[in-house]
Amino acid sequence: MLTGSAVQTDYGPVQVRITVNGGKITQAEALQQPSGGRSTQISGTAIPQLNQNAVAAGSADIDAVSGATYTSGGYKESLQSALDQAGG
């Protein structure tokens, strides 16, 4: 189980934990998410989607992720970083 660092967003802190089994992401859940007003409405749909997609990525059995270039800071929040840590 890997817990990401909390990230400050415009809507409040977000922190995600992923569970890795046999080198695959089997579960992703939000430990911290913004609450109150519009941000609840936004995160209410965004967070389950992130969960579903991260799980889909895990079951896709991938070795690397291609996407628009991330910064060194952005890497820490990336799926590639999760794959590197999982070592699978």
Partner 1 sequence: MADPGTDPAGIPLSQLRHAEEAMGTVFSFDIRGGEPTAVKAALEEAVAGLHTVDEVFSTYREDSQISRLDRGEVTIEECDPEVAEVLELCAEAERLSEGWFSATYEGRFDPTGLVKGWATERAALRLVEAGAVGVSVNGGGDVQLCGVPGPDRPWRVGVADPLRPGGLAAVVTAAGADRLAVATSGTAERGAHIVDPRTGKSAVTDLVSVTAVGPHLTWADCWATAAFAMGSREGLAWLESLPDTEALLITAGDEVRCTGGLASRLG
Give the total of residues touching partner 1 (CB under 8 A): 28
Look at the block and give the residue holding tokens 């579903």. 52
Among 19, 24, 39, 50, binds partner 1 (CB under 8 A): 50
Those residues with Cβ within 8 angstroms of residue 88's Cβ, 6 or more apart along the chain or in another chain: 20, 22, 23, 24
Q: Give the residues across from 24 on adjacent strands.
A: 21
Q: Does 45 bind partner 1 (CB under 8 A)?
A: no
Candidates 5-13, 32-40, 74-82 — which segment interacts with partner 1 by CB under 8 A?
74-82
Tokens representing residue 61 in the block = 């059995």
Those residues with Cβ within 8 angstroms of residue 35's Cβ, 6 or more apart along the chain or in another chain: 12, 43
Q: Does 63 bind partner 1 (CB under 8 A)?
A: yes
Q: Does 1 bind partner 1 (CB under 8 A)?
A: no
Q: Name the residues that contact partner 1, by CB under 8 A.
A: 28, 49-50, 52-54, 56-57, 60-72, 75, 79-81, 83-84, 87
